[in-house]
Structure formats: structure tokens, C-alpha cells
């Protein structure tokens, strides 16, 4: 069963690769049928990815008898969940706006995330790995079912983490659309717009889409921070301890709060708010990845608690 789960995830990875390739081809060919095909592949792969997460949960809970296991308990699994939620978020955006060209940017970001889920061991072990065999073994070992440190063996793992990733996915798609905005803005200002400019949305609709994504993600992020504080109370007997992870989660919250304040109260629009959204996603990446190497309490994602 565990081997089948690995095969299923490999199929998911290929599906996301094909979706990205189809969207990139659409960006050059401008074929509506190609855009629809790319979207169909993305939807099908997301369904397959959901099946993989369910199967992995069965393996952990049923076969390994891990009471509080959920399939987002280590680096590999958390990146897998992040990719899945990004895909679902973009599917919703695409159903609303029907702009296939955005898929070229979002699917590339999604593919980078899911690729990192499989290759992250190489960044820390590269000097110790000799040849393709050891590289492959390290990648497969990282995909094993993890055992959490005792303080993190809680039902809160099943609640807090998905809520945070739903907000992160909204901000990730907003980040990708922010890049689209900057590209389109540069094309317009050059007075010699390239072929891609005609396929990209106008600046104002892009700005609105980014705002709506952040407006959707912010209250969910707020809920996630509150749930994290409640989990901290169960695990360590305090709601807040200014641990590095907690501190940077708060910085993330303030960054997007500033975005919403500047847009709603100060009437900022366009490039200034787009830059803020890009900075916000950079803060998220540091909160998600970098801080784990500074935090002893949240070390389960860096492998310290595995």
C-alpha cells in the first residue's frame, strides 16, 4: 500500500508537470482548446492529489497505527499539501475569471512547490550523497511516514495546519498575479508591448484580483494564528511565547494587515500594493521555511522532531 502511494504521488507530479507545460504552450500559442486542456489536466491532477493525501492518511493511521497522524506532518507532506491547496485555489480563480494565461504563472509556482517537496533533502545532504542511487534513496526516505515529537501529537495538527495553508495558498496565487501585474505594467510603459501583453489582463482587473485573494486569505490567516495559539496552550501551557515561528507568523499577519490598511484606508492602488503583496509572500516563505531552523519548538518541519 505504501509503495502504491509513492506511485500515486509520482503520477501527481507528472500531472502537474503536464499542466504547467500545457499552460506555457498556451502562453505562446493562444489556443483556447489548449487552455481548456491545461485546466482539465490541472483539475484531474488535483483530484488525484486529494486521493493521494487520503491514501497517505490511511497508511499512517491504519497501517502504522499513528493515532494523531495527518498527511502534512513533515517537510515533504507540508509542501505536498501546499501545492494541492494552491492548485485548488487557482481552479476557483479560473472558474470565476476564465483567464487561462494566468495558469502559466500559477502552475509554474505550483510545480516549483511540488518539486521542492521531493528534492529538499538534497539541499542539506548534497555533500554526503554519491551518485544517482544515493540521491534517489534520500528522496524516497524523505517520503516516509513521520513520527511527530510528543508535544505535536495532537488533533490540532489536523486543524491549524490546513487553515494556515489555505491562507498561504491565497497569498501564493496573489503573488503569482503580482508578477503578472509587474510584467504587464512594464510592457505598457515600454510603448512597445510584446505579444504576451495582449494576452495578459489589464492592470486594474489584476489589482482587483490580488486584493480579493488577500481579502479572502487574511481572515483565514487570522483564524490560523488564533488556532496556533490555542494549540500552543495545549502543548506547552502558554498561548504565546515569542518563539521564532510565532513571532514571524505575527509579522506575516501585520504585513497583510498593512496591505489591507493601505488599500482600504489610504486608497493605495496598483504598483505600491502589488509590491506589498510580493513582500508579504516573501515573509510567508521565511515563516514557513527559514524560521524552522531557528525554532526548537516547531522543529517537526525541519526534521528535528521526525
Q: State whether 39 and 163 are in the same domain.
A: no
Q: State whether 18 and 62 are in the same domain.
A: yes
Decide if 145 contacts 64 (C-beta within 8 A). yes
Q: State whether 182 and 294 are in the same domain.
A: yes
Q: CA–CA separation, 198 vs 188, rounded Å?
A: 10
List the one residue out of 11, 5, 292, 299 whose CA is nearest residue 140.
Answer: 5
The predicted structure's pLDDT at residue 306: 30
List the one residue out of 54, 43, 49, 57 whose CA is nearest residue 12.
Answer: 49
The residue segments making up the domain with residue 231 are 150-306
Task: Count structural domains, the chain.
Answer: 2
The predicted structure's pLDDT at residue 302: 40
What φ, ψ does residue 245 adopt, rounded to 5°? -65, -45
Q: CA–CA separation, 15 vs 21, rounded Å?
A: 10
DSSP state of 68: T
Q: State whether 163 and 137 are in the same domain.
A: no
Q: State whether 49 and 112 are in the same domain.
A: yes
Burial tier of 95 (Cβ tally within 10 Å: 0-12, 13-18, 19+): exposed
Q: State whether 157 and 271 are in the same domain.
A: yes
Q: State whether 182 and 299 are in the same domain.
A: yes
Evaluate if residue 298 carries a pLDDT over 60. no
Residues 199-205 have a mean pLDDT of 91
Q: State whether 140 and 20 are in the same domain.
A: yes
Q: What is the pLDDT of residues 16-57, one digit of tens each?
A: 999 999 999 999 888 899 999 999 999 999 999 999 999 999
Q: State whether 163 and 135 are in the same domain.
A: no
| pTM beyond 0.95, yes or no | no
DSSP state of 184: H
Q: State whether 155 and 294 are in the same domain.
A: yes
Q: CA–CA separation, 187 vs 183, rounded Å?
A: 6
The predicted structure's pLDDT at residue 125: 64
Residue 212: in which H helix or E strand, if any? helix 203-236
Amino acid at each position: 500500500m505504501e509503495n502504491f502511494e509513492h506511485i500515486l504521488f509520482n503520477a501527481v507530479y507528472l500531472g502537474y508537470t503536464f499542466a504547467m507545460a500545457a499552460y506555457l504552450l498556451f502562453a505562446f500559442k493562444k489556443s483556447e482548446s489548449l487552455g481548456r486542456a491545461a485546466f482539465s489536466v490541472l483539475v484531474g491532477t488535483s483530484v488525484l492529489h486529494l486521493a493521494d493525501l487520503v491514501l497517505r492518511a490511511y497508511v499512517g493511521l491504519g497501517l502504522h497505527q499513528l493515532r494523531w497522524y495527518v498527511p502534512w506532518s513533515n517537510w515533504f507532506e507540508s509542501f505536498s499539501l501546499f501545492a494541492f491547496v494552491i492548485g485548488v485555489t487557482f481552479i476557483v480563480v479560473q472558474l470565476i475569471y476564465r483567464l487561462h494565461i494566468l495558469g502559466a504563472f500559477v502552475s509554474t509556482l505550483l510545480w516549483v512547490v511540488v518539486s521542492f517537496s521531493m528534492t529538499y533533502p538534497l539541499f542539506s545532504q548534497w555533500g554526503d550523497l554519491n551518485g544517482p542511487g544515493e540521491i534517489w534513496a534520500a528522496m524516497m526516505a524523505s517520503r516516509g511516514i513521520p513520527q511527530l515529537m510528543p508535544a505535536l501529537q495532537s488533533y490540532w495538527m489536523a486543524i491549524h495546519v490546513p487553515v494556515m495553508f489555505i491562507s498561504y495558498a491565497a497569498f501564493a496565487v496573489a503573488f503569482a498575479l503580482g508578477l503578472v501585474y509587474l510584467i504587464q505594467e512594464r510592457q505598457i510603459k515600454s510603448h512597445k508591448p510584446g505579444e504576451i501583453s495582449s494576452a495578459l489582463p489589464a492592470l486594474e482587473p489584476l489589482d482587483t484580483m490580488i486584493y480579493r485573494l488577500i481579502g479572502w486569505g487574511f481572515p483565514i490567516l487570522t483564524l490560523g494564528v488564533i488556532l496556533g495559539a490555542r494549540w500552543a496552550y495545549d502543548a506547552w501551557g502558554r498561548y504565546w511565547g515569542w518563539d521564532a515561528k510565532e513571532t514571524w507568523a505575527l509579522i506575516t499577519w501585520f504585513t497583510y494587515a498593512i496591505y489591507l490598511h493601505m488599500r482600504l484606508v489610504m486608497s493605495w492602488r496598483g504598483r505600491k500594493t502589488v509590491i506589498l503583496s510580493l513582500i508579504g509572500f516573501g515573509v510567508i516563505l521565511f515563516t514557513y521555511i527559514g524560521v524552522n531552523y531557528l525554532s526548537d519548538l516547531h522543529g517537526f518541519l525541519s526534521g528535528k522532531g521526525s
